[in-house]
């Protein structure tokens, strides 16, 4: 399965948005941010220098990335006035030194380590959201260049074979084998196969700790949960749907599942 282009993701999300009036504002925000990502033309990536996780070699135009972060903050503040107070310290702190240090550490560690000192508690999640969009053109370019060079069937890990990120979405697939599963990287949108019986976030495979809840009409979605690490993975069952969408679109259409999972006490696995 080759990941969708940014243009395909935008077109599919735009045509789905009218069918989801209950989350229209969120979908329109993501659509506007994806359009900003699509306007950036990232330089070619040196795949060999960026082995899975060695992201300090990622070829990023830091000026363009910081401009994208600024545009993401402005768009989010304009569309979500309720977040204005939370976003203000980030907008005030957006200088090259803070941005580059924070973005490099986010790439390397997978979570935010630097925040403005006067920020609220939920600032980390928002800054990760901004960084994820601001770095997306370069991470997607890396995935496009690297995926053809990787033997995905041999990877066998829950972390992304391109950038080392965690998956935030999955699909149950018919091909190549019934019952197979494909994961979607939360950072670079790479897709790779991983066994359905193990948690991709912690590797646990005890049947009594791995479960799922069916969600939505016709069994389209499943929320896989892991009692070993407390993590969850939103999943679409492509064996039962007849309108398959890019996984990067399904990730956005299922924002309600994230809310449900977090309310049920699941979340990102604890950091080492």
Tell me which residues touch Zn ion (CB under 5 A): 160, 162-163, 165, 185, 187-188, 190, 199, 201-202, 204, 226, 228-229, 231
For residue 109, the minimal CB distance to Zn ion (Å) is 14
Closest CA to 45 of 33, 34, 55: 55
Which region, left, alpha or beta, applies to residue 45 given φ > 0 means left and ψ of -120 to 50 means alpha?
Answer: beta
Our CB check for Zn ion shows the closer of 53 and 180 to be: 53
Counted residue by residue, the chain has a size of 272
For residue 166, the minimal CB distance to Zn ion (Å) is 9
For residue 152, the minimal CB distance to Zn ion (Å) is 12
User: 58 in helix, strand or coil?
Assistant: coil
For residue 203, the minimal CB distance to Zn ion (Å) is 7
Distance in angstroms (rounded) separating the CA atoms of residues 65 and 96: 10
For residue 261, the minimal CB distance to Zn ion (Å) is 13
Distance in angstroms (rounded) separating the CA atoms of residues 191 and 140: 11
Our CB check for Zn ion shows the closer of 163 and 248 to be: 163
Distance in angstroms (rounded) separating the CA atoms of residues 74 and 47: 32
Closest CA to 148 of 191, 200, 195, 194: 191
Our CB check for Zn ion shows the closer of 66 and 188 to be: 188
Which region, left, alpha or beta, applies to residue 67 given φ > 0 means left and ψ of -120 to 50 means alpha?
Answer: alpha
For residue 188, the minimal CB distance to Zn ion (Å) is 3
Our CB check for Zn ion shows the closer of 179 and 211 to be: 211
> How big is the chain by its Cα radius of gyration, in Å?
18
- Furthest-apart CA pair in the chain: how many Å? 51
User: 59 in helix, strand or coil?
Assistant: coil
Our CB check for Zn ion shows the closer of 42 and 231 to be: 231
Our CB check for Zn ion shows the closer of 15 and 205 to be: 205
């Amino acid at each position: 399965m080759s990941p969708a282009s940014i243009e395909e993701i935008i077109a599919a999300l735009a045509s789905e948005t009218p069918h989801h009036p209950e989350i229209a504002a969120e979908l329109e925000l993501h659509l506007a941010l994806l359009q900003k990502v699509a306007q950036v033309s990232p330089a070619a990536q040196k795949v060999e220098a960026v082995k899975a996780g060695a992201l300090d070699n990622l070829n990023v135009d830091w000026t363009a990335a910081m401009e994208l972060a600024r545009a993401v903050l402005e768009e989010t503040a304009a569309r979500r006035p309720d977040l204005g107070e939370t976003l203000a310290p980030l907008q005030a702190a957006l200088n090259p030194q803070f941005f580059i240090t924070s973005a490099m550490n986010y790439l390397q560690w997978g979570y935010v380590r630097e925040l403005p000192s006067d920020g609220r508690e939920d600032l980390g999640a928002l800054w990760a959201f901004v960084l994820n969009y601001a770095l997306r053109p370069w991470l997607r370019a890396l995935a496009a260049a690297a995926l053809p060079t990787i033997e995905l069937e041999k990877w066998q890990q829950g972390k992304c074979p391109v950038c080392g990120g965690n998956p935030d979405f999955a699909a149950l697939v018919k091909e190549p084998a019934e019952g197979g599963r494909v994961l979607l990287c939360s950072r670079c949108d790479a897709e790779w196969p991983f066994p359905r019986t193990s948690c991709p976030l912690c590797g646990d495979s005890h049947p009594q700790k791995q479960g799922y809840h069916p969600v939505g009409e016709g069994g389209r979605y499943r929320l896989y949960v892991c009692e070993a690490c407390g993590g969850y993975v939103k999943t679409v069952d492509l064996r039962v749907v007849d309108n398959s969408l890019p996984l990067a679109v399904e990730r956005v259409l299922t924002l309600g599942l994230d809310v449900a999972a977090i309310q049920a006490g699941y979340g990102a696995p604890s950091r080492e």
